[in-house]
Structure 1
Amino acid sequence: MTGDLLELAQARLPELLDDLERLVRCESPSADLAAIARSADVVAAVGERRVGLRPGRRVVDGCSHLSFRFGAGPVRVLLLAHHDTVWPIGSLTRHPWANHDGVIRGPGTVDMKAGLAMGVHALALLAGRGVDLAGACLLVTGDEEIGSPTSRRLIEQHARSARGCLVLEGAAPNGALKTGRKGTSWYRIEIAGRAAHAGGEPEKGINAAVELAHLILTVAELGRPAAGTTVTPTVASAGTTTNTVPAAAELQVDVRARTAAEQQRVHAAMQALTPTVPGAGLTVHGGINRPPMEPSGAAELFGTAVRLAQRENLGPLDQRSVGGGSDGNFTAALGVPTLDGLGAVGGGAHAADEHVLVDALAPRTALLAALVDELLGR
């Protein structure tokens, strides 16, 4: 299979754009399980229409996930996508679907409904050429944006037998593929104090807000910028009324680390936190969510992508490590070669200027098709 994948992908572009619009117009915020169910219906219909395969549907704690699995044998190539977004219902009224001057805009376009549509059409392209897709699987989960609490086990089950995992998240800046991702950890710290009248007898209180201030500074010091480790206090709250010593406070913390050792170091330090204000109490919730995706695990697969891009005249490829996590972190931690950022080229994920570049859709879809065919070993 050489030379004509790009032409075939370009021929499919109008259908791909129609499917992408349909996916984007079905809003699917992660926390709205009814919306996720409606979105799963749309994904199932789009996928079945294009590849002729009805997906398996798994609902875990109310969250809908889909698996387009070809053949009865083990998964050899896993395409990994998600259909949930960070955008609440009604976002389309403020950021409507648009396709003008080679740029597509709308909530969830680059993260990652365009990648999902590309994955469907890459498989359809191969099926249309008569390629035996047995061993290929497109897994579409519904809770990636909130840490994949109900889908992680499903992802790992599908990935364990795979020769490679192709993650359909949007590309890094300038279209680079993502060969490394930081691991992510999330924490919520409850602070217990004691209320008292702030004017009449403040000395009888235990000020949770003061403890919160100490805690923010302590936590921020756990970062090691030289090692790529960031520990960021994010959401903080304390107190009830202006004339009451705060009896409770809360702090949320985001941690990113390039290596498992750094991630474990910070986790141990978070678990060992002790209060500074006499009498205050701390309870630490949360922990490690996604392990790091280290570049060494993607090196060979990236080399394969470069070779196939050259063969198919798809242009040069670059690679980059990024700070954000994805479900590819889970597959990489299993030792499965994982290449990320294979979805749309664009930008503005989670922001008002979220967009996709139309000109890059066909070349990236052709690259996906070439990688699937290569990993299936047909």
Structure 2
Amino acid sequence: MLADLEELVGCESFSADHAALARSAEVVGSLGTRLTGAEPDLIVLDGVSHLRWTFGAPRVLLLGHHDTVWPIGSLRTHPWSVTAGTARGPGVLDMKGGLVMLFHALASLPTLDGVCVLINGDEEIGSPTSRRLIEETARSCAATLVLEPAADDRGTLKTARKGASRYEVEIQGRAAHAGLEPHRGINASVEAAHQILALASINASAQAEAADSPLDATTVTPTLLSAGTSRNTVPARARVSVDVRTPTRAAQNRIDTLIRQLTPKTPGARLHITAGARRPPMEPSSSATLMALATEIAAELGQAPLHGQAVGGASDGNHTAATGCPTLDGLGAVGEGAHADNEYAVIDQLIPRTRLIAELIKRTTS
């Protein structure tokens, strides 16, 4: 498993580099073929490479991605290494470790009938080309097991995920000379400040509603901010990017309405609000039955008791849950530091976790 993980980590697969994704798909495809005995379907959508294996009539979907957030060349600064019981390298935890575990779990089974494996190449950027493929596949299955990394270094599963929405609040003002006639301008920067405060107010109200359970709280966070063209010109344009995370579809819809109802505070300024929901919430009810099954299996295997928790980050499990397909996430590698310089996977958890996955597959396809 470590040799296979080293090979996957050694093939860089930055989401924005389609050529790198094509090379990665070839490496992942070869690994899957060696361990399952079957060639994958290579599905290229808008230049992005996805892989799918189907064995009989699908009953369980095993879902993962081979793209990473790490730009090409990251291996020079974050080389593959195995030290002190951990494996390190770009994407080792998120989620190349999960891919290795997935295929080794399949290799241990007496039959793969009823299994569908879908590994996409654009999860880290919101799955723009693969979302429809994921949803269509999930609708034909009775369960989805997501091989994203565990929620922490104790192996906690992800039983709920917040929905993710992105907005761009574009502000149109009017330029003027900042020294000679600023009164003739309409300052888009000032209006941007008003809108940021309005967004902060929406966030504060949402936080107050979930004061006893911050993990369940809706968050509305202004992120990127840009305005102006020169130091001596009243800004004619500004833009505020907004990240929204919501635990339920109802909350996602409510925040969408509030953001689209934002109004200008500066006389003459105009607002244009674009984008919206990118991933629906994965609510706890989606994972309850599968979590109970995983807990039972872990006990039978003599493993430590499993725990589950809601997390703020979204994954493709959000999409499968939204179709009505029961979904359990965070079954992949155990470690910490996804997307960060300290990313690592715990080596002695690879085999126990793979056994858990294998038994889950067996029970959900029988």
TM-score (norm 1): 0.92
Per-residue CA deviations over 1:114-173 (Å, capped at 9, x if unaligned) read: 0011111111111xxxx2212101110111111111111000111112121000010012
Distance (whole Å) between structure 1 residues aligned to residue 32 and residue 338 of structure 2: 24
Amino acid across the alignment from 2:95: M
Partner SS for 2:149: coil
**Any runs of at least 4 consecutive aligned residues in structure 1 with deviations exceeding 2 A, and if so which?**
none
Amino acid across the alignment from 1:363: P
Residue equivalent to 2:318: 329
Residue equivalent to 2:186: 206
Residues 61-72 of structure 1: matches in 2 within 5 Å? 61-71=46-56
Residues 20-99 of structure 1: matches in 2 within 5 Å? 20-71=5-56, 73=57, 75-99=58-82
Per-residue CA deviations over 1:287-320 (Å, capped at 9, x if unaligned) read: 0111111112211111111111111222211111
Alignment partner for residue 275 of structure 2, among 271, 286, 289? Answer: 286
Distance (whole Å) between structure 2 residues aligned to residue 376 and residue 44 of structure 1: 23
Alignment partner for residue 117 of structure 1, among 100, 106, 126? Answer: 100
Alignment partner for residue 297 of structure 2, among 305, 308, 325? Answer: 308
Are 1:150 and 2:165 matched, yes or no? no
Amino acid across the alignment from 2:169: I
Residues 1-378 of structure 1: matches in 2 within 5 Å? 16-71=1-56, 73=57, 75-126=58-109, 131-173=110-152, 174-223=154-203, 224-225=206-207, 226-227=209-210, 228-377=217-366
Amino acid across the alignment from 2:323: L
Per-residue CA deviations over 1:243-297 (Å, capped at 9, x if unaligned) read: 1111111111100011111110111111122211111121111101111111122
Partner SS for 1:198: coil
Per-residue CA deviations over 1:298-351 (Å, capped at 9, x if unaligned) read: 111111111111112222111111111110011111111110000011010111
Percentage of pairs with the same residue: 58
Amino acid across the alignment from 2:73: G
Deviation at 1:52, TM superposition (A): 1.1
Distance (whole Å) between structure 2 residues aligned to residue 29 and residue 217 of structure 1: 35
Amino acid across the alignment from 1:352: D
Distance (whole Å) between structure 1 residues aligned to residue 352 and residue 200 of structure 2: 43
Distance (whole Å) between structure 2 residues aligned to residue 370 and residue 356 of structure 1: 22
Amino acid across the alignment from 1:246: P
Structure 2, unmatched stretches of 5+, are 211-216
Deviation at 1:376, TM superposition (A): 0.8
Matched residue count: 356
Moved more, 272-281 or 248-257: 272-281
Partner SS for 1:305: helix
Structure 1, unmatched stretches of 5+, are 1-15
Deviation at 1:20, TM superposition (A): 1.0
Distance (whole Å) between structure 2 residues aligned to residue 93 and residue 221 of structure 1: 44
Q: CA RMSD in A?
A: 1.0
Distance (whole Å) between structure 1 residues aligned to residue 185 and residue 75 of structure 2: 48
Partner SS for 1:68: strand
Per-residue CA deviations over 1:48-75 (Å, capped at 9, x if unaligned) read: 111111101111111111001112x2x2
Distance (whole Å) between structure 2 residues aligned to residue 189 and residue 158 of structure 1: 34
Moved more, 358-367 or 305-314: 305-314
Partner SS for 1:277: coil
Distance (whole Å) between structure 2 residues aligned to residue 285 and residue 84 of structure 1: 27
Distance (whole Å) between structure 2 residues aligned to residue 57 and residue 274 of structure 1: 47
TM-score (norm 2): 0.95
Distance (whole Å) between structure 2 residues aligned to residue 33 and residue 238 of structure 1: 32
Deviation at 1:109, TM superposition (A): 1.1
